[in-house]
A and B are shown apart, each in its own frame.
Chain A
Amino acid sequence: NAGVTQTPKFQVLKTGQSMTLQCAQDMNHEYMSWYRQDPGMGLRLIHYSVGAGITDQGEVPNGYNVSRSTTEDFPLRLLSAAPSQTSVYFCATSGTMNTEAFFGQGTRLTVV
């Protein structure tokens, strides 16, 4: 049972580089989301999706893009990395209507 798989686990980028954080789930959940976790800030929602082909912005969407072409995958793209995007990123999935979320192990990203 893989659950929610995030890759890579660690990444160092130079300012201005682009990259994609991968998230895949095998739970057949419709709802997927990306959070960033920073010290003292808790988890902040970046983007989310309620199903294939549907995405929307969360609390801190600037500098990030997402797409949802399949139920299983929800990649997060950094178009031009900035030091302010240094953070730990978590992908989460959940079923419908008030059910709990399942989290990946996280990607620790450092932008230098």
Chain B
Amino acid sequence: GNSVTQMEGPVTLSEEAFLTINCTYTATGYPSLFWYVQYPGEGLQLLLKATKADDKGSNKGFEATYRKETTSFHLEKGSVQVSDSAVYFCALRKGTQGGSEKLVFGKGTKLTVNP
């Protein structure tokens, strides 16, 4: 079945450091890939997405590229801020005509950015 594996945290960085959170997936065909962010006490929000191979999703300085050859969708940001402290979830969705179209999540990576 479809699955997502992301690096376990927690990750602690200083402000302005470079961030990478690794995410790899297992799926047949061509799923859509997502990164969601969850700030303390809140629900999940979509951060970025990519729907086909070599697509790059970007938002708020974060980027991730859909790599079919390595089945990866690593999240990167060149200079993190204290306000980026949150839990980040990698996810995939593989829709099929008339199928279940489930969204599958990784376990999440907690990021703390210190001033």
Contact = CB atoms under 8 A, between A and B. Distances in A.
Contact of B107 (A42, A48, A99): A42
Contact of B108 (A42, A90, A96, A97): A42
Contacts of B100: 48, 50, 56
Contacts, number: 63
Interface string B21-63: 0000000000110101000001111100101000000000000
A32 to B, nearest CB: 11
Count chain A CB atoms within 10 A of each CB in B31, B44, B95 and give the residue with the most.
Answer: B44
A105 interface: yes
9 contacts: A42-B105, A43-B105, A97-B97, A98-B93, A98-B95, A99-B95, A100-B34, A100-B46, A101-B93
Interface of B: 31-32, 34, 36, 42-46, 49, 51, 89, 93-95, 97, 100-103, 105-108
